[in-house]
Amino acid sequence: MIVKPEIMRGGLVKNPHPIGCKAVVEKQINYMKSLPKFSNKKRALIIGGSSGYGLASRIALAYGADADTISVSFEPGVNDKRLGSAGWWNNIWFKEQAEKDGLIAKNIIGDAFSDEVRQQTIDMIKKEFDGKIDILIYSLASPRRTDPKTGITHSSVLKSTVGEIAAPTLDLNKQIIVDGKMMAATKHDIDETIKVMGGEDWQLWIESLKEAGVLADGFKTTAYSYDGADGTDAIYKKGTIGAAKRHLEKTALTLNNELHDLQGEAFVTVAKALVTKASAFIPLFPLYGCALFKVMKELGTHENTIEQIDRFMRDMLYGNKRITDEVGRVRPDNLEMDDNTQILTNAIMSKMTSENFKEISDFAGFYQDFLELNGFNVAGVNYDASIDIDTLKSKQP
């Protein structure tokens, strides 16, 4: 079977390329192997460790801190209609390589919002990880969440808290700028989005793990967030997403207090704008990303996902170069938020049209990152070669 990218309406890629996903994982691992370690051995739990910042965190900890890791993610496997998800294959390829390198790598596939998966994780920590973990990375992105206490399923929405606004974006299938708008949010919309994307589930994880006695002394936890610059202010800070992120920040303060007896800490990490499964479909963001990438590459400050996470962990998580803001968030997005970078980025965005955006921005780089999310257009992979589906089906995360 020969696998080609099938980009559907809205920019969703229907099928991943399993061998391409392997190459992407190996590229990140090889990057970390080229660097010195940044910490002594750790035991890490990553909630949402199958792609994006979560996957990069798993790789960085494994190869920068010799970490044994557990990843919890909800990823569909191979069936008659599709070749699984990119995250499914990322889990498989990471586990395969990590075990070859003498590390413990466990994948739990299931609903991270459920009490059952939390208990399964606790049991695994007690059995496989000497009963303790040193760090939990929370990097979960989901449009829905079922509250384990009430059984009610909540759905997040992308809406504005300041009234209806214009929200042009890129159609990645047709490769054109399309007009759009973000509808005004109701209080119900805001509350629903906070239930899904706020800090409630992160808090449930930490409190459950602490009650079970599986958090080591000096335990650290962080949840990834994005703050947004002027170019995306209407979507993030003034959107339902922003309301959820403020809740996440309040949760971090609560958790930080709860970890004092372990000499631990909890904080929100504001990461750089990058192409992820979630960000590629947020209005305005692709236009901002294309402009930002061009500016940062020309200035020599651009970082891809693994480079960003390595610098964060090396300098700010386990190093002595932590950058924080007035509300205590850790800010590895400092290079993106540089004043000159933002001025140049906004100048490009103000000139963008469907006719010129490919020439005046780094659309090519943004689109390349988008394809790589699903294992396509990766150097060294023969996309004309047939894939043995039956052999791949036998692999399990």
- Confirm whether residue 111 is marked as ligand binding: yes
- Confirm whether residue 57 is marked as ligand binding: no
Residues 202 and 223: beta-carbon distance below 8 Å: yes
What value does the mean pLDDT take over residues 118-138?
97
Spatial separation of the C-alpha atoms in residues 159 and 243, rounded to whole Å: 11
Spatial separation of the C-alpha atoms in residues 159 and 155, rounded to whole Å: 12
Spatial separation of the C-alpha atoms in residues 121 and 219, rounded to whole Å: 17
- Confirm whether residue 49 is marked as ligand binding: yes
- Confirm whether residue 139 is marked as ligand binding: no
Q: How confident is the model at residue 13 (pLDDT cuts 50, 70, 90)?
A: confident
- Confirm whether residue 365 is marked as ligand binding: no
Contacts for 142 with CB less than 8 Å, ≥ 6 apart: 74, 113, 156, 196
pLDDT for 78 beyond 90: no
Over residues 325-339, the pLDDT tens digits come to 999 999 999 999 999
Contacts for 14 with CB less than 8 Å, ≥ 6 apart: 6, 7, 8, 82
Residues 136 and 47: beta-carbon distance below 8 Å: yes
Catalytic, 138? Answer no
What value does the mean pLDDT take over residues 247-256?
98
- Confirm whether residue 214 is marked as ligand binding: no
Tell me the two tokens of residue 56: 């990069």
- Confirm whether residue 51 is marked as ligand binding: yes
| Closest by CA position to 189, among listed 233, 225, 239 | 239
Q: Please pick, among 63, 236, 318, 367, the residue that the annotation labels catalytic.
A: 236
- Confirm whether residue 299 is marked as ligand binding: no
- Confirm whether residue 77 is marked as ligand binding: no
Contacts for 46 with CB less than 8 Å, ≥ 6 apart: 54, 57, 58, 61, 69, 70, 71, 72, 136, 137, 139
User: Which amino acid, one-letter code, is at 357?
Assistant: F
- Confirm whether residue 50 is marked as ligand binding: yes
pLDDT for 10 beyond 60: no
CB atoms within 10 A of CB 59: 31
Q: How confident is the model at residue 12 (pLDDT cuts 50, 70, 90)?
A: low
- Confirm whether residue 295 is marked as ligand binding: no
Over residues 145-200, the pLDDT tens digits come to 999 999 999 999 999 998 998 888 888 888 889 888 889 999 999 999 999 999 99
Tell me the two tokens of residue 239: 């959107």
In this prediction, residue 8 carries a pLDDT of 65
Out of 102-111, 224-233, 243-252, 292-301, pick the least confident: 224-233
In this prediction, residue 205 carries a pLDDT of 98
User: Which amino acid, one-letter code, is at 353?
Assistant: T
By residue count, the chain amounts to: 397
